[in-house]
A = this chain, B = another copy of it.
């Protein structure tokens, strides 16, 4: 069975219960406006902050939302839904509003990064895919940001497609890590799709397919004369470095310059030191050393602290799977329906009701000082001390239409760099814990009490 062509955009990327609930809303005529917000409940160990990412793919999904004839007839064939309801899905489009934090913004638990305001059917239907998209890219951008903070001046390349969880995970990990400050990716399709700079070297199989390692290097160099980065650890790293020195003279006469070498196994820091000496002694101080293999922010920190002469890193599996924290404790929850604020009270999963705004204040050096989560009001009253600060949640879609063209990836990346530059010092470290101050406003506390009171008594206070 072959997948349909546009499987990544399918409206059926949803949980069955969304559709059964839609049938319920349909049958009971519940068509009022609902407000849902996406937020993270708490940080998991190993993260002091998160970086928002994935909004662009959410907006693309919402713009294109529809049921295809094939999907409708398949739904009908399941016998789970009424004809009347299936017919109503044919015209369904996303016609709601979206407010969101810009991609690349640093955020914390209880701060919504996306708000959907739409008929309850539309807002409910998209829950699964919205969480799926925001969880993934936010997860990877947050991991990549930690790596960028540890090695701000190094060449950082995403190498993770092979162990990313499927094609979309690999593609979007390339995007999310580029947003967070990576230099580029090895994923070719991410270059074509998103314009992300591509980097690549060679694999051991190229060396092994030749009987002679030196010949393999020469063949590779002549085939890619502008991008000669040679993998030197297939057999014996230092011996291969000496071959690189010998080869450099031969290639120089052909006008080819060796750009770098890559080490992918063993003690990377030790090998880098030895290789650097060999290259320097051989008159190749300009040849860079690129390291890869089981790397993450902790390995980079240790390697750089040891003074290892590494110029760039290929970071794969541990970033693309966010291996120490492979998911966010995130949710997309109903905050208001039919003009009345709502609140989930399940144990350990209580939510703050209503449409929210996050204000961020900065200290005199431009570093983040504190956030306040409060109710969103069109006019900022200034009632709370910090309310005069920057609001982070802005309108991006109205009645199903974007309010502005998609931001360029470089714009987003530059906003992310600015966000990281403004992190308070303790958040720039890998150590934990440091609780950045996020205050829940008095107005929000009061609304939560009102909602609870109404639910208990059926009356306003």
List the interface of chain A (C-beta within 8 A of B).
1-10, 12-21, 23-28, 30, 34, 36, 60, 71, 74, 78, 80, 120, 124, 127-129, 131-133, 135-136, 139, 159, 161-172, 186-189, 191-195, 198-206, 208-209, 211, 219-220, 222-224, 226-227, 233-236, 264-266, 317, 321-323, 326-328, 330, 333-334, 337-338, 342-349, 406, 455, 458
Shortest CB-to-CB span from A36 to chain B, Å, is 7
A168 contacts across to B, CB distance below 8 A: 7-8, 165-169
A205 contacts across to B, CB distance below 8 A: 21, 34, 36, 120, 124, 127, 333-334, 342
B334–A189 CB distance below 8 A: no
B204–A346 CB distance below 8 A: yes
> This chain: how many copies in the complex?
2
The 9 closest A-B pairs by CB, nearest first: A16-B200, A166-B168, A165-B165, A17-B200, A165-B169, A24-B223, A266-B347, A205-B334, A265-B346
Shortest CB-to-CB span from A349 to chain B, Å, is 5
| A344-B234 contact, Cβ under 8 Å, with A17-B202, A208-B334, A223-B27 | yes
Q: How far is the CA of A234 from the CA of B252 in the complex (A)?
A: 72
A219 contacts across to B, CB distance below 8 A: 24, 27-28, 30
A337–B24 CB distance below 8 A: no
A222 contacts across to B, CB distance below 8 A: 27-28
Shortest CB-to-CB span from A110 to chain B, Å, is 17
**Chain B residue at minimum C-beta to C-beta distance from A206:** B21
B165–A164 CB distance below 8 A: yes
Contact of A21 among B166, B202, B227 (CB under 8 A): B202
**Chain B residue at minimum C-beta to C-beta distance from A194:** B1
Q: How far is the CA of A87 from the CA of B170 in the complex (A)?
A: 27
Can you spell out 12 A-B residue pairs with CB atoms less than 8 angstroms apart? A15-B161, A16-B191, A20-B200, A27-B219, A27-B222, A80-B226, A132-B161, A165-B321, A166-B172, A167-B168, A208-B342, A209-B334
**Chain B residue at minimum C-beta to C-beta distance from A187:** B15
Shortest CB-to-CB span from A316 to chain B, Å, is 9
A347–B12 CB distance below 8 A: no
B223–A7 CB distance below 8 A: no
A188–B227 CB distance below 8 A: no
Contact of A20 among B17, B224, B406 (CB under 8 A): B224
| A120-B189 contact, Cβ under 8 Å, with A8-B3, A8-B8, A15-B161 | no
Q: How far is the CA of A159 from the CA of B16 in the complex (A)?
A: 10
| A343-B200 contact, Cβ under 8 Å, with A15-B186, A186-B17 | no
